[in-house]
Structure 1
Amino acid sequence: MTTAELYADFATREARGVSPTYERLAAAVAGDTVIHELLERVPVAKRQPNLLFGVVRLLGGPVGDVGAFHDFTVANWPAIEAELLVRATQTNEAGRCAVLLPVLADLPQPLALLEVGASAGLGLYPDRYSYRYGDHTLGTGGPVLDCDLTGTEPPTRLPEVVWRAGIDLNPLRVTDPADIAWLDALIWPEHQHRRDRLRAAAAIAAADPPELIAGDLVDDLAALAAKAPPGATLVVFLTSVLYQVPDDRRAAFIDLVGTLPGHWISVDLPGAVAPADTLPPAWDDTLHNVVTLDGRPLAWAKGHGQAVRWFG
């Protein structure tokens, strides 16, 4: 996919109907050959719209005005390039727990949670948040996570979590203002509710920090999983991670995680775990993730956990 195609696809399939600002900006970048030339100086994985837009926002640049964005990006390219090379899209969206909860609630309790690509670990607290699936509510503490759930009954209990740990190439700390600033920069401009949710979830994590290690999803996973307490169901999970992993490492991870005790859950793009041509059609043409349990596809989900459609 060319740089122009990457940004045009983002505008129409990810931002449309979700962020008018990013839809407009991505469509403009799709036709901006000057920015294409700059982006093509960095590796393909570092050209992602979410990453570029987040870095510009982190550095104080404008995203609401197309012309101002172009001028800022060109004038500040050395600083932008330096940030692109050392950062990744570590969006730590607690709302994705609303997608995980129907799976987690059905597994043998209690649970030992291990998140791969954990960022700051906010996905490790599904038992501490509250949920609203239409008229059905669950939980009494933390931020309320709204999710449009169809195709299955909403969960009736929160999971019992007795251990939580995460692994990430560059784990973030909820107690570090610089790390929180990066997580904030990754939230799309209009989404104040997600900013509020980030702060509330970060406060929960800061009060009871998980074990987060800097490591590789293949080389260091088994050692961390071995720390899970006996008598708890180990659940390894990842959300919007595998699509960023090279094919050979992704295959090695899938082989490895299948040998561990317990279960593993993935919420990722079609083809990351389940072959795209084996899946039923999604409910519209925008971008969706696929929810899988132990490699078996269960549902389509929107990227920030705002909707899920069960089919398995």
Structure 2
Amino acid sequence: MSTAATYAEFAAREARGVSPVYERLSLAVAADETILELLATVPEGKRQPNLLFAVVRLLGGPVGDPAAFHDFTVAHWDRIAANLRVRATQTNEPGRCAVLVPVLERLPQPLALLEVGASAGLGLYPDRYTYRYGDRLLGTAGPVLACELTGTEPPARLPEVVWRAGLDLNPLRVSDADDIAWLDALIWPEHEHRRERLRAAAAIAAADPPHLIRGDLVDDLPALAAQAPAGATLVVFHTSVLYQVPDERRRAFERLVGTLPGHRISVEAPGVVPFDGLPPAPDDTLHNVVALDGVPLAWARGHGQAMSWFAGRR
């Protein structure tokens, strides 16, 4: 897919109805030959809309006005390109825990959680947040994460987590102001509720920091998994991560993770982790598949806002 088509698709599939600012900006970039030519000078994996827009925001550039965005991007391209090359879309969205909890509830407790692509580790605290599934509230502390859940009953209990660890090529620290600034820049402009959520989740992580390891999802996963305590169910999980991994490494990860004890939860687009015989998604905002041990269970939105269960309905 061309870079222009990528931006047009991002506008239609991800930003429409979610971020008018990014929908408008994505369409403008898709038709902006100058910016498209500049993007062609960085590796293909570094041309994605979320990454470009976040880098511009981090550097103090405007995203609300496409013309001003164009001028800033052209004038500051060297700095922007340098950041694109070394940064990744490490969106650390706690809201994704809302689609993990219905799966985690079904596993033998207590749990040892290991997140691949953990960023700052905010996804490692599903037991510390509160969830709203329709009119059902689960939990009493932390930020409230709302999820429109259909096809199954809301979970009745929070998971019991006794160990939490994360693996990332570039782990971020909630105690580092620059790392928090990058996570803030990755949040879409209108989503002030997500900024509030980021601050609340970061406070939880700062009070009880997760065990984060800088490493590769193939080379370093077995040693980290071996640190999980005996008597706890190991759960390796990843959400919207594998699309950034080259195909060969992704296949190596798939082979490796199947050899580990415990369970694996994946929340990825079906083009990244494919499955046969998937039912159609109820709408085009549900573009991730939630799976347990390679068995697809539900469709989900990218930030955990909705989940449509289709396996073993109860």
Regarding TM over 0.5, the answer is: yes
Quote the residue 2:303 is aligned against: 304
The aligned runs of 1:200-211 (5 Å cut-off) are 200-211=200-211
Structure 1, residues 162-210: CA drift from partner, whole Å, max 9, x if none?
0000000000000000000000000000000000000000000000001
Alignment partners' CA distance in 1, 2:151 and 2:223: 37
The aligned runs of 1:202-221 (5 Å cut-off) are 202-221=202-221
Quote the residue 1:19 is aligned against: 19
Contact kept, 8 Å, 1:109 with 1:233, in 2: the verdict is: yes
The aligned runs of 1:232-251 (5 Å cut-off) are 232-251=232-251
Alignment partners' CA distance in 2, 1:243 and 1:298: 20
Contact kept, 8 Å, 2:286 with 2:299, in 1: the verdict is: no
The aligned runs of 1:1-312 (5 Å cut-off) are 1-275=1-275, 278-286=277-285, 288-312=287-311
Per-residue deviation at 1:279? 1.2
Give the aligned residue type for 1:242. L
Task: Give unpaired runs (5+ residues) of structure 1.
Answer: none
- Match of 2:7, SS? helix
CA gap of 1:186–1:310, structure 2 versus 1, over 3 A, is: same
Contact kept, 8 Å, 2:118 with 2:171, in 1: the verdict is: yes
Stretches of 4+ aligned residues off by more than 4 angstroms = none
Per-residue deviation at 1:287? 5.5
- Match of 1:56, SS? helix
- Match of 1:197, SS? helix
Structure 1, residues 56-79: CA drift from partner, whole Å, max 9, x if none?
000000000010000000000000
- Match of 2:174, SS? coil
- Match of 2:164, SS? strand
CA gap of 1:25–1:287, structure 2 versus 1, over 3 A, is: farther
Give the aligned residue type for 1:311. F
RMSD of Structure 2 on Structure 1 (CA): 0.7
CA gap of 1:156–1:308, structure 2 versus 1, over 3 A, is: same
Per-residue deviation at 1:285? 2.7
Give the aligned residue type for 1:298. L
Alignment partners' CA distance in 2, 1:144 and 1:234: 26
Alignment partners' CA distance in 2, 1:185 and 1:281: 33
Structure 1, residues 116-171: CA drift from partner, whole Å, max 9, x if none?
00000000000000000000100000000000000011000000000000000000
Alignment partners' CA distance in 1, 2:202 and 2:24: 30
Per-residue deviation at 1:247? 1.1
Alignment partners' CA distance in 1, 2:301 and 2:216: 26
Alignment partners' CA distance in 2, 1:159 and 1:285: 30
CA gap of 1:195–1:27, structure 2 versus 1, over 3 A, is: same
Structure 1, residues 284-312: CA drift from partner, whole Å, max 9, x if none?
23461110111111111000100010011
Q: Which moved more, 1:241-250 or 1:146-155?
A: 241-250
Give the aligned residue type for 1:113. L
Alignment partners' CA distance in 2, 1:285 and 1:66: 26
Length-normalised TM-score, structure 2 = 0.98
Give the aligned residue type for 1:292. A
Give the aligned residue type for 2:17. G
Alignment partners' CA distance in 1, 2:215 and 2:159: 27
Contact kept, 8 Å, 1:274 with 1:296, in 2: the verdict is: no
Structure 1, residues 14-37: CA drift from partner, whole Å, max 9, x if none?
000100000000000000010000
Give the aligned residue type for 1:30. A
Alignment partners' CA distance in 2, 1:85 and 1:287: 30
Alignment partners' CA distance in 2, 1:8 and 1:126: 34
How many positions carry a matched residue from both structures? 311
Alignment partners' CA distance in 1, 2:138 and 2:283: 28
Alignment partners' CA distance in 2, 1:68 and 1:27: 15
Alignment partners' CA distance in 1, 2:153 and 2:222: 34
Contact kept, 8 Å, 2:129 with 2:141, in 1: the verdict is: yes
Contact kept, 8 Å, 1:163 with 1:228, in 2: the verdict is: yes
Length-normalised TM-score, structure 1 = 0.99
- Match of 1:147, SS? strand
